[in-house]
Amino acid sequence: MTTKAIIVEGRAGALAHYPHARRVGDFIYLCGTSSRRPDNTHVGATQNANGTWELDIAEQTRAVIENMRVYLEAAGAGLEHLIDVTTFLVNMDDFKGYNSVYNEYFNAETGPTRTTVAVAQLPHPNLLIEIKGVAYHPIETKNQKPKTKN
């Protein structure tokens, strides 16, 4: 079985030596994804004039899912191919806001299975959420016969 690292140019790079995703056969494994931009700022984190931060779980959730979409597309798939996600929330008080945005993207019939856990912290104090996922999308091969209807 072959594996392929998926590293997307123009996106926030990993903070260590790992790819945004890895394709292993027909499966795509997404790294823990945040709302970090390429310039190391975060969507959903706005600094006030007095130096305090306003953090928005809805904006961060949307940015995380959109980042996941970009990584999946780079691997030849899409959000519809996700089969399982694990969400890490710094504060379960954010669950309602996270769930609201999540439900804009996924439904119970076609969406991935999901686990949501609370964590003490994430790699940056402005992060409220991180999501990792697994997608299934068969690799098309040249020898594959087209499906026909009988």
DSSP string, 96-149: HHHHHHHHHH--TTTSPEEEEEE-S--SSTT--EEEEEEEE-PPP-TTPPPP--
In a domain, 8, yes or no: yes
Query: What confidence tens digit (pLDDT) does each residue in 86-113 have?
Result: 999 999 999 999 999 999 999 999 999 9
pLDDT for position 16:
83
pLDDT for position 148:
44
In a domain, 116, yes or no: yes
Average pLDDT taken over every residue of the chain: 92
The SS3 assignment for 24 reads strand
In a domain, 74, yes or no: yes
pLDDT beneath 70: ranges in the chain = 141-150
In a domain, 143, yes or no: no
Phi and psi, residue 73, nearest 5°: -65, -35
pLDDT for position 13:
80
Give me the domain span that covers residue 38: 3-136
In a domain, 30, yes or no: yes
In a domain, 141, yes or no: no
Domain harbouring 124, CATH code: 3.30.1330.40
In a domain, 148, yes or no: no
Question: How many domains does the chain fold into?
Answer: 1
In a domain, 99, yes or no: yes
Percentage of the chain lying above the pLDDT 90 cut: 85
